[in-house]
């Protein structure tokens, strides 16, 4: 793990949250993206709100 989490705008599909998580964890970006989609299907608005709050609060890097 790279130390601190930051959004990855260059590799972003939407807001860079999943790309930032994959860069932070040194993993494939499809894993966090799939997890977010599954959480959105299971939890609905709660998961989407958590994604948006993370995108607003996290540092851009």
Q: Which domain holds residue 52?
A: 1-61
Q: Which residues contact 51 (CB under 8 A, 6 or more apart)?
A: 15, 17, 36, 40
Q: What's the pLDDT tens digit per position in 30-55?
A: 999 999 999 999 999 999 999 999 99
pTM of the predicted structure, to 2 decimals:
0.85
The fraction of the chain above a pLDDT of 70, given in percent, is: 95
**How many domains does the chain contain in total?**
1
Which helix (H) or strand (E) segment holds residue 40: the answer is: helix 30-43
Q: What is the DSSP letter of 2?
A: -
**What is the phi-psi region of residue 3: left when phi exceeds 0, alpha when psi lies from -120 to 50, beta otherwise?**
left
């Amino acid at each position: 793990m790279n130390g601190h989490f930051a959004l990855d705008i260059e590799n972003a599909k939407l807001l860079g949250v999943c790309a930032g998580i994959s860069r932070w964890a040194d993993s494939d970006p499809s894993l966090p993206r799939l997890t977010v989609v599954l959480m959105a299907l299971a939890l609905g608005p709660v998961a989407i709100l958590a994604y948006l709050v993370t995108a607003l609060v996290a540092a851009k890097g």
